């Protein structure tokens, strides 16, 4: 009888917690989670973008930044709603102003892709915010802006610095950019061993083979050693997206 009472109590407590955190009662995070279940088709829910929009809109209107970001992607891609870039921009902006780094990046990217030339500085300002918040895709985009002279004066040194920050977090695109600049000696002193090591970390086979062809046998051997050291350093810290370990492993062969 005592055990039965405990079971009933635990069931009641569990039901109460689930009930009071139910999306139907207006809990923003619960509504966001419900929307995400439909967005990704997980948690026993079938993917349904219209239902995802329904719940994400509720959470977004309640000020949930992640919900605002995901709702924006629905409008951006026309998933469950007619494509509406203006609406996507509005929701990205709402999340970005709350400090949500992926939305800063997404907003800057949307402005860059759809805006006029005069909007370049606005796009870069969002890349800058994301980069300074240590969001590696934002660091990559800011590096590209300095490399290409988009919205800022062209500066290969600053481009390398921001590429390096993203590469230090293991972003494959950042590793590739750092490797290419080191091979060429643009924005940084030329160092082919280091350059090849970063190309290996990027997982880009074509770039690695091209890099090997430009290096001496000793430079290739040094690159293999350095690549292992860099991989260990990157894996020892939190990262936004490190290079695939198996892909990197296949790159670690000498010339």
Does residue 71 have a pLDDT over 70? yes
Q: Where do the domains of the chain lie?
A: 155-255
Residue 109 has a CB neighbour count (10 Å cut-off) of 19
Both ends of the chain: CA-CA distance in Å?
75
pLDDT tens digits for range 117-151: 779 999 999 999 999 999 999 999 999 999 999 99
| Residues 6 or more apart in contact with residue 12 via CB below 8 angstroms | none
Gap between the Cα atoms of 244 and 97, Å rounded: 33
pLDDT for position 24: 67
For residues 223 and 201, what is the distance between their CA atoms, to the nearest angstrom? 10
CA distance 159 to 106: 20
Residue 238 — very low, low, confident or very high, per pLDDT cuts 50/70/90?
Answer: low
List b or e across 67-105, with b for residues whose CB sees 16 or more CB atoms inside 10 angstroms: bbbbbbbbbbeeebbeeeeebbbebbbbbbeeebbbbbb
Q: Is there a contact between 133 and 166 (Cβ–Cβ < 8 Å)?
A: no
C-alpha to C-alpha distance for 127 and 141, rounded to whole angstroms: 6
Displacement of CA 31 from its chain's centroid (Å): 23
pLDDT digits (tens, 9 = 90+) for 166-215: 999 999 999 999 999 999 999 999 999 999 999 999 999 999 999 999 99
Token pair for 15: 């039901």
Cα distances (angstroms) measured from residue 197 to each of 34, 57, 85, 142, 169: 43, 45, 40, 23, 15
- Helices and strands (H and E) in the chain: how many: 14, 0
Q: Is the pLDDT of residue 16 over 90?
A: no
Nearest to 32 by CA among 79, 82, 72, 70: 70
Place of tokens 């490399």: 147
Q: What percent of the chain has pLDDT over 70?
A: 83
CA–CA separation, 88 and 164 (whole Å): 31
Tell me which residue of 214, 227, 134 sits closest to 180, measured CA to CA.
Answer: 214
Count CB-CB contacts under 10 A for residue 9: 10
């Amino acid at each position: 009888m005592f055990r039965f009472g405990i079971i009933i109590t635990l069931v009641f407590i569990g039901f109460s917690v689930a009930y009071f955190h139910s999306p139907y009662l207006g809990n923003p995070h619960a509504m966001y989670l419900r929307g995400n279940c439909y967005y990704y088709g997980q948690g026993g829910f079938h993917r349904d973008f219209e239902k995802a929009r329904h719940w994400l809109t509720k959470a977004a209107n309640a000020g949930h930044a992640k919900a605002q970001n995901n709702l924006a992607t629905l409008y951006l891609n026309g998933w469950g709603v007619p494509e509406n870039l203006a609406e996507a921009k509005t929701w990205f902006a709402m999340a970005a102003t709350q400090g949500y780094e992926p939305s800063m990046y997404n907003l800057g990217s949307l402005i860059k892709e759809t805006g006029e030339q005069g909007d370049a500085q606005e796009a870069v300002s969002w890349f800058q915010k994301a980069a300074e918040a240590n969001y590696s895709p934002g660091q990559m985009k800011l590096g590209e802006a300095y490399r290409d002279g988009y919205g800022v004066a062209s500066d290969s040194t600053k481009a390398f610095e921001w590429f390096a920050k993203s590469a230090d977090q293991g972003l494959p695109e950042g590793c590739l950019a750092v490797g290419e600049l080191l091979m060429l000696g643009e924005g940084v002193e030329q160092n082919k061993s280091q350059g090849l090591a970063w190309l290996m970390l990027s997982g880009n086979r074509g770039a690695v083979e091209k890099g090997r062809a430009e290096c001496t046998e000793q430079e290739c051997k040094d690159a293999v050693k350095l690549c292992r050291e860099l991989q260990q350093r990157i894996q020892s810290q939190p990262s936004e997206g490190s290079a695939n370990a198996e892909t990197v492993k296949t790159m670690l062969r000498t010339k």
